[in-house]
Amino acid sequence: MKRKIVTTGDGSTTIQITDWNEQYHSMHGAVQEAKHVFLKMGLDFWMNENPDQNSLHILEIGFGTGLNALLTLIHTEKSSVNLLYEGVEAYPVSSEELAQLNYLEAADAQVFEVVFEKMHQTPWEQTETITEAFQLKKRKQTFETLEDQDQHDLIYFDAFGARVQPELWEEPIFEKMYCALKAGGVLVTYAAKGSVRRAMQAVGFKVERLPGPPGKREMLRAVKV
């Protein structure tokens, strides 16, 4: 499918799949969406709920451009938390596309250029040390094949939208997410559709609607109870 680099509302770029009219990130702003959905409503929430924990295991569903991983590393750099970050991606972004993205400039994070390059250069299927407190494992697989059990504290659910891939937003996938989380684990996503919320609830999640990022009224956060 045809792909191109486009500029979003906050000046940061993203990849657009033109056949689907679908983007890797919000057209209202890639960086600001990631910070709101995954950092503020996900990462900060988990850290506030678990102030005594010094380790955190994150699973990202849709590693994509690596933006969420980069922002998470930056956000936790001055904390005392040691982080293991696993990113699942079936179709890795090409090096040519990555070279055209401007996340370092858009997030005022040019000092992390070497770190961001290292994230993308590390081999798939291996746990690699990116910084002293941040380890990364990139996993090349489809979401449907995930079989993790009670492993993760926090899931960033960043799959393509239900309009183009509805099968990724139904009960079987959220059952896998529920099983992958530890008790008390948290899942956050930009989505807010009623059908998505009901699918989460059907597999056991406690779900709440939250204010969404710019351009979106609501988003969802789910807790494994």
Q: pLDDT (tens digit, 9 = 90+) per residue, 8-35?
A: 999 999 999 999 999 999 999 999 999 9
Q: pLDDT (tens digit, 9 = 90+) per residue, 110-149?
A: 999 999 999 999 999 999 999 999 999 999 999 999 999 9
The C-alpha atoms of residue 7 and residue 29 are separated, in whole angstroms, by 8
Q: What is the structure's pLDDT at 188? A: 98
| Residue with more model confidence, 2 or 140 | 140
Overall pTM > 0.75: yes
Examine the pLDDT at 66 and tell me if it is beyond 90: yes
Q: What is the structure's pLDDT at 167? A: 96
Q: What is the structure's pLDDT at 24? A: 94
Arithmetic mean of pLDDT, 59-63: 98
Examine the pLDDT at 1 and tell me if it is beyond 90: no
